[in-house]
Amino acid sequence: MKLSHPLRSVVLALLLCPTFALPQGLKPLELPVPQTSGGKPLLEALKDRHSPREFSPQKLSPQILSNLLWAAFGVNRPDASKRTAPSAMNWQEIEIYVATSEGLYVYDAKANRLDPISAEDVRAATGTQSYVKDAPVNLVYVSDLSKTGRASGEESLMYTSADTGFIAQNVYLYCASEGLATVVRGSIDRPALAKVMNLMPDQKIILAQTVGYAKK
Ligand SMILES: Cc1cc2nc3c(=O)[nH]c(=O)nc-3n(C[C@H](O)[C@H](O)[C@H](O)COP(=O)(O)O)c2cc1C
Protein backbone atom coordinates (compact mmCIF):
# COMPACT_ATOMS: atom_id res chain seq x y z
CA MET A 1 0.00 0.00 0.00
CA LYS A 2 1.39 3.42 -0.96
CA LEU A 3 0.75 5.93 1.83
CA SER A 4 0.01 9.54 1.00
CA HIS A 5 2.65 12.03 2.15
CA PRO A 6 0.85 13.32 5.25
CA LEU A 7 0.24 9.72 6.42
CA ARG A 8 3.84 8.78 5.68
CA SER A 9 4.92 11.74 7.83
CA VAL A 10 2.92 10.44 10.78
CA VAL A 11 4.21 6.86 10.37
CA LEU A 12 7.80 8.09 10.06
CA ALA A 13 7.42 10.38 13.07
CA LEU A 14 6.11 7.49 15.17
CA LEU A 15 9.04 5.30 14.17
CA LEU A 16 11.67 7.97 14.77
CA CYS A 17 10.20 9.80 17.70
CA PRO A 18 8.07 7.87 20.21
CA THR A 19 7.03 11.11 21.96
CA PHE A 20 5.44 12.55 18.79
CA ALA A 21 1.90 13.66 19.73
CA LEU A 22 -0.42 11.25 17.98
CA PRO A 23 -3.62 13.00 17.00
CA GLN A 24 -5.44 10.98 19.68
CA GLY A 25 -9.06 11.96 19.92
CA LEU A 26 -8.65 14.03 16.77
CA LYS A 27 -10.83 12.46 14.14
CA PRO A 28 -10.96 13.34 10.46
CA LEU A 29 -13.22 16.38 10.15
CA GLU A 30 -15.81 15.92 7.45
CA LEU A 31 -16.40 19.42 6.09
CA PRO A 32 -19.86 20.69 5.13
CA VAL A 33 -20.53 20.79 1.39
CA PRO A 34 -18.91 24.05 0.24
CA GLN A 35 -21.11 26.90 -0.90
CA THR A 36 -19.98 27.57 -4.45
CA SER A 37 -22.25 30.43 -5.45
CA GLY A 38 -22.92 33.92 -4.16
CA GLY A 39 -20.38 36.26 -2.66
CA LYS A 40 -19.38 39.73 -3.83
CA PRO A 41 -18.92 40.50 -7.51
CA LEU A 42 -15.30 39.81 -8.48
CA LEU A 43 -14.45 43.47 -9.07
CA GLU A 44 -15.68 44.45 -5.61
CA ALA A 45 -13.62 41.65 -4.05
CA LEU A 46 -10.57 42.91 -5.94
CA LYS A 47 -11.27 46.42 -4.65
CA ASP A 48 -11.40 45.12 -1.06
CA ARG A 49 -8.39 42.77 -1.15
CA HIS A 50 -5.72 43.79 1.34
CA SER A 51 -3.45 42.37 4.07
CA PRO A 52 -4.52 43.27 7.61
CA ARG A 53 -2.27 42.04 10.45
CA GLU A 54 -4.42 42.29 13.56
CA PHE A 55 -6.72 39.35 14.17
CA SER A 56 -9.54 38.63 16.61
CA PRO A 57 -9.53 35.13 18.18
CA GLN A 58 -13.05 34.51 16.79
CA LYS A 59 -13.14 31.07 15.17
CA LEU A 60 -14.30 30.30 11.64
CA SER A 61 -17.44 28.17 11.42
CA PRO A 62 -17.06 24.75 9.74
CA GLN A 63 -19.05 26.10 6.77
CA ILE A 64 -16.75 29.11 6.31
CA LEU A 65 -13.68 26.88 6.64
CA SER A 66 -15.07 24.51 4.03
CA ASN A 67 -15.86 27.39 1.66
CA LEU A 68 -12.42 28.91 2.24
CA LEU A 69 -10.58 25.67 1.43
CA TRP A 70 -12.74 25.01 -1.60
CA ALA A 71 -12.03 28.52 -2.89
CA ALA A 72 -8.32 27.96 -2.17
CA PHE A 73 -7.81 24.67 -3.98
CA GLY A 74 -11.01 22.64 -4.00
CA VAL A 75 -12.30 20.34 -6.72
CA ASN A 76 -14.35 22.41 -9.15
CA ARG A 77 -15.21 19.98 -11.95
CA PRO A 78 -17.39 16.86 -11.95
CA ASP A 79 -14.58 14.43 -12.79
CA ALA A 80 -12.72 15.52 -9.61
CA SER A 81 -9.43 15.81 -11.49
CA LYS A 82 -9.23 19.62 -11.63
CA ARG A 83 -9.17 22.32 -8.98
CA THR A 84 -10.05 26.00 -8.34
CA ALA A 85 -6.40 27.00 -8.85
CA PRO A 86 -4.24 26.00 -11.81
CA SER A 87 -1.02 24.06 -11.32
CA ALA A 88 1.92 23.50 -13.64
CA MET A 89 1.29 20.35 -15.68
CA ASN A 90 -1.67 19.73 -13.37
CA TRP A 91 0.76 18.47 -10.72
CA GLN A 92 -1.60 19.50 -7.89
CA GLU A 93 1.49 19.28 -5.71
CA ILE A 94 0.49 21.86 -3.10
CA GLU A 95 -0.90 20.44 0.13
CA ILE A 96 -2.77 22.82 2.40
CA TYR A 97 -2.08 22.23 6.08
CA VAL A 98 -4.53 23.88 8.46
CA ALA A 99 -3.27 24.93 11.90
CA THR A 100 -5.97 25.75 14.48
CA SER A 101 -6.17 25.76 18.26
CA GLU A 102 -7.40 22.13 18.04
CA GLY A 103 -4.42 20.80 16.10
CA LEU A 104 -2.85 20.45 12.70
CA TYR A 105 -4.77 18.98 9.77
CA VAL A 106 -4.25 18.51 6.06
CA TYR A 107 -6.98 19.28 3.53
CA ASP A 108 -8.18 16.39 1.38
CA ALA A 109 -9.94 18.24 -1.43
CA LYS A 110 -11.45 15.17 -3.10
CA ALA A 111 -12.97 13.88 0.15
CA ASN A 112 -13.78 17.43 1.37
CA ARG A 113 -12.24 16.50 4.69
CA LEU A 114 -9.53 17.58 7.12
CA ASP A 115 -7.22 14.73 8.09
CA PRO A 116 -5.53 15.09 11.49
CA ILE A 117 -1.73 15.27 11.62
CA SER A 118 -1.11 16.34 15.20
CA ALA A 119 -3.17 17.29 18.24
CA GLU A 120 -0.78 20.13 19.05
CA ASP A 121 -1.60 23.80 18.56
CA VAL A 122 1.27 24.75 16.22
CA ARG A 123 -0.07 28.16 15.15
CA ALA A 124 2.75 30.09 16.80
CA ALA A 125 5.32 28.06 14.83
CA THR A 126 3.75 28.90 11.46
CA GLY A 127 5.39 32.33 11.28
CA THR A 128 7.76 34.74 12.90
CA GLN A 129 5.18 37.48 13.49
CA SER A 130 3.23 37.63 16.74
CA TYR A 131 -0.24 37.84 15.15
CA VAL A 132 -0.04 34.27 13.82
CA LYS A 133 -0.83 32.78 17.23
CA ASP A 134 -3.93 34.98 17.71
CA ALA A 135 -5.68 34.14 14.47
CA PRO A 136 -7.98 31.09 14.39
CA VAL A 137 -6.47 29.61 11.23
CA ASN A 138 -3.04 29.52 9.66
CA LEU A 139 -2.77 27.77 6.32
CA VAL A 140 0.64 26.35 5.45
CA TYR A 141 1.30 25.67 1.77
CA VAL A 142 3.57 22.67 1.43
CA SER A 143 4.86 21.54 -1.94
CA ASP A 144 5.24 17.81 -2.46
CA LEU A 145 8.21 17.94 -4.78
CA SER A 146 7.92 14.22 -5.44
CA LYS A 147 4.96 15.15 -7.67
CA THR A 148 6.91 17.59 -9.83
CA GLY A 149 8.21 14.91 -12.17
CA ARG A 150 11.36 15.43 -14.13
CA ALA A 151 11.50 19.22 -13.88
CA SER A 152 14.89 20.48 -12.71
CA GLY A 153 15.22 21.69 -9.12
CA GLU A 154 15.16 25.32 -10.20
CA GLU A 155 12.25 24.83 -12.60
CA SER A 156 10.10 22.91 -10.15
CA LEU A 157 10.73 25.50 -7.42
CA MET A 158 9.74 28.30 -9.80
CA TYR A 159 6.56 26.50 -10.90
CA THR A 160 5.59 25.35 -7.43
CA SER A 161 6.01 28.89 -6.07
CA ALA A 162 3.76 30.19 -8.85
CA ASP A 163 1.21 27.44 -8.11
CA THR A 164 1.16 28.53 -4.46
CA GLY A 165 0.56 32.14 -5.50
CA PHE A 166 -2.64 31.20 -7.33
CA ILE A 167 -3.99 29.43 -4.24
CA ALA A 168 -3.05 32.32 -1.96
CA GLN A 169 -4.81 34.79 -4.25
CA ASN A 170 -7.95 32.61 -4.25
CA VAL A 171 -7.86 32.84 -0.45
CA TYR A 172 -7.41 36.62 -0.62
CA LEU A 173 -10.40 36.98 -2.93
CA TYR A 174 -12.63 34.66 -0.87
CA CYS A 175 -11.70 36.60 2.28
CA ALA A 176 -12.37 39.93 0.60
CA SER A 177 -15.73 38.62 -0.55
CA GLU A 178 -16.74 37.30 2.90
CA GLY A 179 -15.38 40.07 5.13
CA LEU A 180 -12.56 37.90 6.50
CA ALA A 181 -9.02 39.12 7.14
CA THR A 182 -5.99 37.42 5.60
CA VAL A 183 -2.30 37.95 4.99
CA VAL A 184 0.02 35.68 3.02
CA ARG A 185 3.40 35.17 4.64
CA GLY A 186 6.91 34.22 3.64
CA SER A 187 8.46 35.11 6.95
CA ILE A 188 8.63 31.59 8.41
CA ASP A 189 11.35 29.65 10.19
CA ARG A 190 11.01 26.82 7.66
CA PRO A 191 13.39 24.27 9.22
CA ALA A 192 11.73 24.71 12.63
CA LEU A 193 8.21 24.50 11.20
CA ALA A 194 9.06 21.47 9.04
CA LYS A 195 10.22 19.73 12.20
CA VAL A 196 7.08 20.63 14.13
CA MET A 197 4.97 19.38 11.21
CA ASN A 198 7.05 16.20 10.77
CA LEU A 199 7.48 16.83 7.07
CA MET A 200 9.33 14.46 4.73
CA PRO A 201 12.50 15.74 2.99
CA ASP A 202 10.71 16.29 -0.33
CA GLN A 203 7.90 18.29 1.29
CA LYS A 204 8.86 21.98 1.15
CA ILE A 205 7.12 24.81 2.93
CA ILE A 206 6.51 27.57 0.38
CA LEU A 207 4.30 30.13 2.14
CA ALA A 208 1.78 30.42 4.94
CA GLN A 209 -1.41 32.45 5.14
CA THR A 210 -3.20 33.67 8.24
CA VAL A 211 -7.00 33.82 8.11
CA GLY A 212 -9.53 35.12 10.59
CA TYR A 213 -11.57 38.19 11.44
CA ALA A 214 -9.99 41.60 11.76
CA LYS A 215 -9.61 42.87 15.31
CA LYS A 216 -12.10 45.67 15.86
C1 LIG B 1 5.33 36.19 -1.38
C2 LIG B 1 4.82 37.12 -0.31
C3 LIG B 1 5.35 37.04 0.97
C4 LIG B 1 4.85 37.87 1.99
N5 LIG B 1 5.33 37.72 3.26
C6 LIG B 1 4.79 38.45 4.27
C7 LIG B 1 5.19 38.21 5.61
O8 LIG B 1 6.02 37.36 5.91
N9 LIG B 1 4.60 38.93 6.59
C10 LIG B 1 3.64 39.89 6.33
O11 LIG B 1 3.15 40.50 7.28
N12 LIG B 1 3.25 40.13 5.06
C13 LIG B 1 3.78 39.43 4.03
N14 LIG B 1 3.34 39.61 2.74
C15 LIG B 1 2.26 40.58 2.48
C16 LIG B 1 2.82 41.84 1.81
O17 LIG B 1 3.63 42.55 2.72
C18 LIG B 1 1.65 42.70 1.32
O19 LIG B 1 0.94 41.99 0.35
C20 LIG B 1 2.13 44.02 0.77
O21 LIG B 1 2.65 44.86 1.78
C22 LIG B 1 1.03 44.79 0.04
O23 LIG B 1 -0.06 45.02 0.92
P24 LIG B 1 -1.54 44.54 0.51
O25 LIG B 1 -1.53 43.04 0.42
O26 LIG B 1 -2.42 45.05 1.62
O27 LIG B 1 -1.84 45.15 -0.82
C28 LIG B 1 3.84 38.82 1.70
C29 LIG B 1 3.32 38.89 0.40
C30 LIG B 1 3.79 38.05 -0.59
C31 LIG B 1 3.19 38.13 -1.96
What's the mean per-residue pLDDT of the chain? 91
**Is residue 47 within 6 Å of ligand 1 at its C-beta?**
no
**Is residue 90 within 6 Å of ligand 1 at its C-beta?**
no
Cα(4)–Cα(109) distance, integer angstroms:
13
The number of beta carbons lying within 10 Å of the beta carbon of residue 149 is: 12
Q: What is the pLDDT of residues 186-204, one digit of tens each?
A: 999 999 999 999 999 999 9
Q: What is the pLDDT of residues 107-148, one digit of tens each?
A: 999 999 999 999 999 999 999 999 999 999 999 999 999 999
Q: Which of 133, 183, 189, 207 to mutate to test the pocket of ligand 1 (most atoms within 8 A of CB)?
A: 183
What DSSP element (H or E) covers 12?
helix 5-16
Entry pTM: 0.92
Mean pLDDT of the region 81-107: 97
pLDDT at 14 over 90: no
Q: Which residues contact 1 (CB under 8 A, 6 or more apart)?
A: none
Q: What is the pLDDT of residues 22-53, one digit of tens each?
A: 556 678 999 999 999 999 999 999 999 999 99
Q: Which of 46, 47, 49, 51 to mutate to test the pocket of ligand 1 (most atoms within 8 A of CB)?
A: 51
Three-class SS state of 160: helix
